[in-house]
Structure 1
Amino acid sequence: MASLVEFVEALTIVLAVGTVRGWRSALLGTAASLAALMLLVAVAGPALARIPLPVAQLVVGTLLLLFGLRWLRKAVLRAAGILPMHDEDQVFTAETEALRRHTGASGRAIDAVAFATAFKIVMLEGIEVVFIVIAIGASGRVILPASIGAGLALLVVVALGVWLHRPLANVPENGLKFGVGVMLAAFGTFWAGEGIGLSWPGEDWAILALIGVFGVVALAMVHLCRRLRRTSSALPISAPGERPPTRGLLAHVAEEVMGLFVDDSWLAFGVVAWVIASWEIGAMHAVAVVRAGPLFAVGLIVLLAASMVRRARA
């Protein structure tokens, strides 16, 4: 599900590139980027599998927790009308207009603009897919099923793109991000908790309970944020189709990697501090208390809710 969202966003830009600048270079750029991403998974996956499981659960679980809370926070704020919804049709229109303004012939064997644009967008969106595959796969020692899931998502999006030949604007993208954010936050909470030595009632079954709790809290926060929103914050910060200024690929990649985990620095700092504090408390008592896991989750939910309330009032 998470990979599906990212591939839908990448498809929109690739379609714009192919329509305006030509399909040969657009597809070559896409293929080159996919090959680089698959190589990254092939190298990083087995390397992480050799790390002791508790360490992998702590490090990757914490990163997955930050990643999932970021997704969930943005999905709630979008549903509450505080952040703009992502509109694939508007993104497609904006991208085609930007590509048409580029000078230079587009009929050459390899169009540098088309190749670079397709490569960049697939790489940037693919970084999130790679992280999801590695994080879920490494923490549970299930790299292969996670990779198959991402591969199936890619095939579905490619098939729909070839068949419809237009942006997948009817895909309920924010609804998918909402659901995926809930699940990633739950998995990240569980694995980070296990990594610092906390115990969960019901062991692995606690993941289902965490999914339910995060889902209920997120739905409640949608209604609360709507009520808290001020008139001055009714207008979103940026239009749905607006794109950032053009920068180099390395700058984009660095920004994308940082943006995977940090959307609200206050929330990110609070989560890391809470993980460290819970770890220290567990080490001091040198015993895994059954209620320690749920208390850890409650602290994270409080931090997430406080972050969304702060944004709704801003």
Structure 2
Amino acid sequence: MNLAALAIATFLACLVEAVEATTIVLASGTTRGWRSAMQGVLTALIVLAAGVALAGPAILLLPIDVLRIAVGGLLLVFGLQWVRKAVLRASGRKPLHDEDAIYRRAVAAAADRGGERRGIVEDWYGFTLAFKGVLLEGLEVVFIVLTFGSNARSIPVAAGAALVAVIVVVVLGVVVRGPLSRVPENTLKFVVGVMLTSFGLFWGAEGAGALWPGSDAALLVLVPAVLIYALVLVLAFRPRAATAEEAEVAPAAPDAPVAPAGSSGTGVAVAAPVRPVRTNPLVRRARGFVDFWVDFLIGDDWQVAAVVAAGIAVTALVAVAAPAVAWAVLVLVVLGTLPYSAVRALR
């Protein structure tokens, strides 16, 4: 893989994650106090550094084809879901991602909570808010660096690009001291989704035994091809405006029935409030831990992950007999999965 392409892809992907983490930290520090927020940031960075020290060398010990299949599959799962969301936002089917709104919600939530001191941490809520934001987004940065860098056998280049992205966003955050809404995040996510999908497609098929025409040069065709396909889907998913004739014959909405006095307002008897079921704290934490990793590795559409896994498996079977054309199997899987996932998300 070209080192310039590796650096650009890593930089853009990490830029998005850094924007989201910085927005959360700014909200925590502004409303709860910077000391507790920075303690949360520092703790999260220590946890991430320990994870990299343990996981980084282990990843490099994996056989290259196993690594390519694992990395390619995960990047395809992430990339397809990112592109799906970007297509629906660009087509007007979903609201655009708004860092201003996210910042306001985080500020409001932080301001409503009372302070609680734990040990050397003056404000535990401000600490945990910053800690979780940096840890969750930082995990994705670490994943991007390790997967991109290890597959290209150049983790220092990927790490350097990620560091530059984080520094750029942090400097912007310090300067503006507010939400980074001027960063065109929706455009960035569209581009990053396309690149993740393209690299995942390339590495997944290559790890399964397929031979791409032109080897690494195939990426020069894959990236623009996936981008064009995504833009076509944007046009296809744009809501069709109703014609004048359709507007005239459209039936008027019936008047809402007037509820009788003493009723719930819907004509339906209101049931007694259900008491919340208490769950053992250990069970709740274990469930939260499992849910986090399921969401982190599979995302919000398990069917996409299942189809990607099946597509790589079929590609490997075809590659045994015809490696020169096996890549087409995974390409067709991606072409079909993206619109299918978008349609399911609109239901």
Normalising by structure 1, what TM-score?
0.87
- Residue 123 of structure 1 deviates from its aligned partner by 0.8
Query: Is 2:299 the partner of 1:299?
Result: no
Q: Deviations over 1:127-186 (max 9, x none)?
A: 211111111112111211111111111111111111111110111101001001111111
> For the aligned residues, what is the CA RMSD?
2.3
Match for 1:148 among 140, 160, 164? Answer: 160
Deviation at 1:119, TM superposition (A): 0.3
Q: What SS class does the counterpart of residue 166 from structure 1 fall into?
A: coil
Alpha-carbon shift at residue 102 of structure 1 (Å): 1.1
Measured after TM superposition, the shift of residue 93 of structure 1 is 1.2
For residues 77 and 250 of structure 1, the distance between their equivalents in structure 2, rounded to whole angstroms, comes to 34
Return closer, same or farther for 1:206/1:228 CA change in 2, 3 Å cut-off: farther
Q: Report the counterpart of residue 113 of structure 2 in structure 1.
A: 102
Correspondence for 1:51 among 62, 76, 80: 62
Q: How many residues align?
A: 294
Q: How far off its partner does 1:27 sit?
A: 0.8
Equivalent pairs: percent with the same residue?
42
Does the CA-based 8 Å contact 2:98-2:181 persist in structure 1?
yes
Which amino acid in the other structure matches residue 300 of structure 2? D
Structure index of larger Rg = 2
Work out whether 1:122 is the aligned partner of 2:156: no
User: In the alignment, is residue 28 of structure 1 matched against residue 39 of structure 2?
Assistant: yes
Asked whether 1:262 is paired with 2:299, we answer yes
The corresponding residue for 2:323 is: 288
From 74, 93, 97, the equivalent of 2:85 is: 74
Residue type matched to 2:339 in 1? Answer: A
1:273 and 2:310 equivalent?
yes
Deviation string 1:34-85 (CA, Å, 9 cap, x unpaired) is: 2222332232222111111111111121111111111111111111222222
Task: Note if contact 1:267-1:307 (Cα within 8 Å) is conserved in structure 2.
Answer: yes
Question: Counterparts in 2 of 1:204-223, with a 5 A limit?
Answer: 204-223=216-235
Work out which of the residue numbers 150, 153, 173 in structure 2 matches 1:138: 150
Q: Which runs of 5+ in 1 are unaligned?
A: 231-246
Q: Distance in 1 between matches of 2:160 and 2:286?
A: 28
Deviations 1:239-272 (A, max 9, x none): xxxxxxxx98876664443223332222222111
Q: Are residues 252 and 218 of structure 1, via their aligned partners in 2, closer, same or farther at CA, if it must alter by over 3 Å? A: farther
Alpha-carbon spacing, 1:20–1:62, altered in 2? closer, same or farther (3 Å): same
Listed as ranges, the matches of 1:154-303 within 5 Å are 154-227=166-239, 254-260=290-296, 261-283=298-320, 285=321, 287-289=322-324, 291-303=325-337
Of 72, 85, 89, the match for 2:96: 85
Q: Aligned partners of 1:141 and 1:254: how far apart in 2? A: 31
Distance 1:93-1:176 versus aligned 2 partners, 3 A rule: same
What residue is the counterpart of 2:258 in the other structure? none
Query: In the aligned structure 2, how far is the partner of 1:88 from the partner of 1:251?
Result: 29
1:228 and 1:6 map into 2 onto residues whose CA distance is 34
Q: Sort the Cα spacing of 1:215 and 1:80 in 2 relative to 1 into closer, same or farther, 3 A.
A: same
Q: Secondary structure at the match of 1:103?
A: coil
Q: SS where residue 85 of structure 1 aligns?
A: coil
Could you say if the C-alpha distance between residues 116 and 109 of structure 1 is closer, same or farther in structure 2, counting changes exceeding 3 Å?
closer
5+ residue gaps, structure 2, are 1-11, 243-280
Query: 2 CA distance for matches of 1:75 and 1:270?
Result: 20
Q: 3-state DSSP class of the match of 1:64?
A: helix
Judging changes above 3 Å, is the alpha-carbon distance between structure 1 residues 201 and 217 closer, same or farther for their aligned structure 2 residues? Answer: same
